[in-house]
Every structure is written in C-alpha cells, then in structure tokens.
C-alpha cells in the first residue's frame, strides 16, 4: 500500500462525521443573520438558480469540477461536472481531489499563525531571525510583510521568470533546495511595507520559516497541525507520479489559444510536488471541513482565527479586480471582502489547468467551495454565489 493510500485510509477512519463539530458556522449569526440563515434560499438548493447556472456552464464546456454549498455546517448542494481524467474516462465526483493552486496559501498562513500562537515565531520578527543566507535588506523583511504580500521579496506574482534548471527538478529535495537557493539570489523589488505586490515566492519563504521554527519539514508540519486536526481525508501535497496513477485525483487541463485542452500532468506546469504557495490537492468536502475547523477555532485560538482571516491591507482594483464592486482586503493567507454589507473570507487559486475558490460567510453560516480542473474562469460562478448567499 502506498504512503498516500495508507494515510487516506487512516484519516478516513477519523473522518466519519466530517461536519459534526461545526460550532461557529453552525451557530453563526449576528443581527438578522440567524433569522435570514435558517431557511436557505431556493436559488442555492438543488435545482435552483445556482445549480442550473453551473450546469449550463458545464454543458457549454466552461466548467469542469465540483461545487459545494453548505449552510450552518451542512452541505445543501454538491454537484460534480466533467472529467477528472479524459484519457481514462474518469468522471469528477464529490471526493475527487483538485489542485488548489494558491488556495494552498491559507494552509501556510494557518501553520505560521499556529507557531506564533505557540511562541515559536513572531509576526514582527525579520526572516533573518529564522533563515540565513539572504541579502541584508531582504533579511530585514518581517513575517507580517511576507504574509500580506507587502515584502518586496522574490519575483512578481505573474511572471515567466524561472529558476535555472527547474524543469529538471524531480524530487521533493530538488524543489526545496532549488527554490531556497534561487530565492537567496533575488534582490528586493521595492522597500518592504510600502506597497502590495502578490508574491508566491514570499509564501515559499514562509514555508521555509515554518520548517526552521518547527524542526519538521513544511509538509509534515502542515499535515500534522492543519490536515489532521481538520480531518482532511483527501488532501495532501501529492507527487506527480501519484497524480498520474491515482484515479481520485483530477488531471488539470490547460486551454490553448486554439481552444484545445492539454493535460498538464506530464508538463512543467505541474511540478513534482507542490509548495507553500501552491499545489496542495483537496476535495470539496475536505475544503468544507477545513473551513469549519478553522472558523470553529479547532486549528487556532479564537483570537488567532480572527487575526488570520481579517484584512490587513486594502486592495485596489488593480491589485485584485473586485467581484461586483466589493471592498477587498488581504489578511494572512486569506482574502476578506465586504459584499452587500456581509463579510466573506477565503482564498482563490488559478493557473494552467486549475481554478479554485473558497468563500466563507461568517455572519450567516454559508460556505461555497468551487474547484475546477480547467483554467476557464470561475468568476461568474463566484459572483452569482455571493449574490445569492447575501440576498437575504
């Protein structure tokens, strides 16, 4: 039995009641939230407007994946469309694991916050207090600045600049050692704290800090302190060979200018293994479990949960195009938006062959998970779900 299969089996025994302890989300409500929240609007139930909209997009070739809508901690709608593996004829289903892309940053931020809560890290400390070998000005960047994308560390968020030899990295050590060495060669792009610039590399550095402060590998720490207490049964940093072999893991399909879809599984678009800023795989029910565990304060204390999920930096429309004119902020591995006077927190992810989004509405107990193994935009689906979840 493989390590991944064994781990799934063990966690499956722990996960028999995935939403049994949904305290905060199950009882969420301030003001009229309780009154508005007990009867889910028909538009978000099976056969409703949202369900039909997603089905229509799937039929038109514009969506492949799983959507899950939960209310007060319990799923009220789960739908899967399209194929996890077109070559083998494997359909997506409820428990299919998808590449989360940048949603992975939420796991990294929770890991950092847990170490701060334990007194092993400090948000105001410079990265040089934990890691050596960086230029002096880079070493002064704080953990807070890395978490909020205000550090100036690394490459721009959207770039074709690649580390030398990256295409030959084919092990966990190759990726970890290669990226760690490469990032130590890069200068700051701006004075830390003076602006927001989305930085995948900054989150890789945070993962290295997690490893240094905990004495464990980044992967082991996140598995032990995030995945296991949240009872995530279909979530891990799967290696490329596992993605190829496991029928329960979706292959990503990148859309070419010609309209042709390309399986990215055996291309450089899928690294050997993901990292602190991208590439964890998970299923929609597991993402719901994660949201419940976090907001029910089972991963962090209540104060640290609020700290992680609350916005720290106001985002301009240039930083992140808003959905229907929302106010948007970035916290610690979480986006926070104010939509129709309601607070929504979570994170999105995108890249070749992947598009994901988690929205948690803490005031009303709604959670909406959207996971796709194509890079066709899911923004219209996100926009409609937010409209419907805040309509009462």
Beta carbons of 389 and 359 less than 8 angstroms apart: yes
Of the candidates 65, 78, 64, which has an alpha carbon nearest to the alpha carbon of residue 18? 78
For the record, the structure tokens of 377 come out as: 């935009």
DSSP character at residue 167: G
Of the candidates 11, 6, 7, 4, which has an alpha carbon nearest to the alpha carbon of residue 229? 11
Rounded alpha-carbon distances, angstroms, from residue 63 to 306, 370, 373, 391? 33, 10, 8, 24
Q: Give the model's pLDDT for residue 392.
A: 66
Cα angle at 343 between 341 and 344, to 5 degrees?
130
Q: Give the model's pLDDT for residue 63.
A: 98
Tally of helices (H runs) and strands (E runs) in the chain = 14, 14
- Helix 200-214 vs helix 104-117: angle between axes, to the nearest 10 degrees? 40
How far, in whole angstroms, is CA 162 from its chain's centroid? 23
Burial class (CB in 10 A: 0-12, 13-18, 19+), 62: middle
Helix (H, G, I), strand (E, B) or coil at 232: coil
Beta strands in 157-298 (DSSP E): 253-255, 261-263, 281-282
d(CA 141, CA 370): 34
Q: What is the pTM of this model?
A: 0.91
d(CA 281, CA 263): 16
Domains of the chain: 3-389 (3.40.710.10)
Of the candidates 145, 105, 133, 123, which has an alpha carbon nearest to the alpha carbon of residue 213? 123
**CB count, 10 Å around CB of 268?**
12
The residue length of the chain stands at 392
Terminal Cα distance for the chain, rounded: 49
pLDDT averaged per 10 residues in sequence order, the chain, 392 residues: 39 39 45 46 93 98 97 96 97 98 98 98 98 97 98 84 87 95 96 95 98 98 98 97 96 92 91 96 98 98 97 85 81 92 93 97 94 97 93 73
Of the candidates 369, 380, 291, which has an alpha carbon nearest to the alpha carbon of residue 66? 369
For the record, the structure tokens of 360 come out as: 């948690």
The DSSP element (H or E) to which 355 belongs, if any, is strand 354-361
């Amino acid at each position: 039995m493989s390590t991944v299969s064994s781990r799934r089996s063990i966690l499956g025994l722990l996960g028999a009641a995935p939403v049994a302890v949904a305290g905060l989300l199950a009882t969420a409500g301030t003001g009229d939230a309780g009154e508005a929240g007990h009867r889910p609007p028909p538009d978000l139930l099976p056969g409703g407007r949202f369900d039909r909209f997603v089905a229509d997009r799937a039929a038109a070739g514009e969506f492949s994946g799983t959507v899950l809508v939960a209310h007060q901690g319990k799923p009220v709608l789960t739908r899967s469309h399209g194929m996890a593996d077109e070559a083998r004829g494997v359909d997506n289903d409820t428990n299919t694991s998808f590449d989360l892309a940048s949603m992975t940053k939420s796991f990294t931020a929770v890991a950092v916050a847990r170490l701060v809560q334990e007194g092993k890290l400090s948000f105001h400390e410079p990265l040089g207090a934990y890691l050596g070998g960086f230029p002096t000005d880079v070493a002064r960047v704080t953990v807070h600045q890395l978490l909020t994308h205000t550090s100036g560390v690394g490459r721009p968020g959207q770039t074709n600049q690649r580390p030398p030899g990256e295409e030959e990295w084919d092990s966990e050590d190759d990726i970890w050692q290669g990226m760690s060495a490469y990032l130590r060669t890069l200068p700051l792009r701006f004075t830390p704290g003076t602006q927001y610039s989305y930085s995948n590399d900054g989150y890789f550095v945070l993962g290295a800090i997690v490893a240094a402060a905990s004495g464990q590998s980044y992967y082991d720490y996140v598995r032990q302190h995030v995945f296991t207490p949240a009872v995530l049964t279909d979530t891990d940093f799967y290696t490329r060979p596992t993605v190829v072999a496991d029928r329960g893991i979706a292959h990503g399909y990148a859309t070419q200018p010609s309209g042709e879809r390309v399986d990215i599984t055996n291309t450089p678009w899928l690294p050997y293994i993901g990292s602190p800023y991208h590439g964890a795989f998970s299923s929609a029910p597991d993402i719901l479990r994660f949201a419940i565990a976090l907001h029910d304060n089972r991963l962090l204390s209540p104060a640290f949960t609020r700290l992680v999920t609350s916005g720290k930096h106001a985002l301009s429309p240039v930083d992140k195009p808003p959905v229907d004119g929302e106010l948007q902020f970035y916290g610690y591995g979480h986006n926070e938006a104010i939509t129709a006077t309601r607070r929504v927190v979570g994170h999105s992810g995108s890249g070749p062959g992947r598009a994901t989004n988690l929205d948690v509405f803490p005031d009303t107990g709604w959670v909406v998970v959207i996971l796709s193994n194509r890079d066709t935009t899911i923004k219209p689906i996100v926009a409609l779900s937010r409209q419907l979840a805040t309509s009462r």
